[in-house]
Amino acid sequence: MALGNKALAVRTDLSFGDIIRERSGEDVHSCYYCQKCTAGCPTAFVMDYKPAQLLRMIQLGQRERVLSSTTIWMCIGCEACGTRCPNQIRLAPVMDVLRQMALDEDYAPETAVYSLHRSFLDSIRMWGRMHEVTMLAQFKTLELLKEYPVFFKGLLGDMKLGADLLLNGKLSFIPDRIKGVDEIRALYEEAAATSSREKESEVSG
């Protein structure tokens, strides 16, 4: 059974819900588990905890369980839940905050999804416009470094996907470098540096 001694040993952190409310702007405390979000969530079937369950866990301060759940990486931000929740709770921003917290606190991210987010940003940084071939390659390299089995499983599928796209002339080979690309790269570097400085001063301050 999933709920065994482990469930009893869950540590709680009662400030957890407040922090999430603060950073996401969503009042997670007002959820009364009507399950409407879960019922309409397109990816609930691949989440270990369903959206309404996650809300309850947040309220109870079950930080570790929440931050290590697959749920936070499987939410694709479709906003169906936020549109339907009787308490106007939007889970997309909540999940975004949780992903950031999970990364900051070194919880293992869902590698494939995390790599995609990374390679997206890297591709913009390098080329200005997103470029699918670069992106796919980077995505795969990141993935390879992290988890071999997933890489090989995924690669076969992607090669097929890539080949199909190529055959149909849907992928272009030469990234469209645009004017101002150096400027964009510099902006991202500066922004990253600023936000890590801010974080340090928050910690020490």
Partner 1 sequence: MGIPYFPGCTLSTNAKNYDRSARAVAKTLGLELEELPEWQCCGATFPLMLDDSMALIAPTRILYQAQQAGERVTTLCSICFNVLRRSQALLERDEEMLDRINWFTEQDYEGNVYVAHFLELLRDDLGWEEGPAPLAKHVKRPLTGLKAAPYYGCLLLRPYDEIGLDDPENPRILHDLLRALGAEPVDFPYNVECCGSYLMVKDPEVPETLSQEIVTSAGEHGADVVVTVCPLCQFNLDYPQRESAGTRTGSRIPVVYFTQLMAVALGLPEETWGFEDHYVDPKRLFAE
| 60: contact with ligand SF4 by CB under 6 A | no
Q: Report phi then psi at 48, rounded to 5.
A: -75, -40
Q: How far apart are CA 205 and CA 193, in angstroms?
A: 18
Among residues 66, 62, 87, which one has the least CA distance to residue 75?
66
Count, residues near partner 1 per rule CB under 8 A: 63
159 binds partner 1 (CB under 8 A): no
List % helix, strand, coil for the chain (3-state, nearest 5). 65, 0, 30
User: Who contacts 47 (Cβ-Cβ below 8 Å, separation ≥6)?
Assistant: 41, 54, 69, 70, 71, 74, 75
Query: In whole angstroms, how close is the CB of 158 to partner 1 at the nearest point?
Result: 8
91 binds, among partner 1, ligand SF4, none (CB under 5 to 8 A by kind): ligand SF4
Binding mask 20-39 for ligand SF4 (x = CB under 6 A): -----------xxxxxxx--
**CA 56 from centre of chain:** 20
Residues found near partner 1 in the complex (CB under 8 A): 23-25, 42-43, 45-46, 73-74, 76-80, 82-84, 90, 92-93, 95-97, 100, 110, 112-113, 115-117, 120-121, 123-124, 128-132, 139, 154, 157-158, 161, 164-165, 168-172, 176, 178-181, 184, 187-188, 190-192, 195
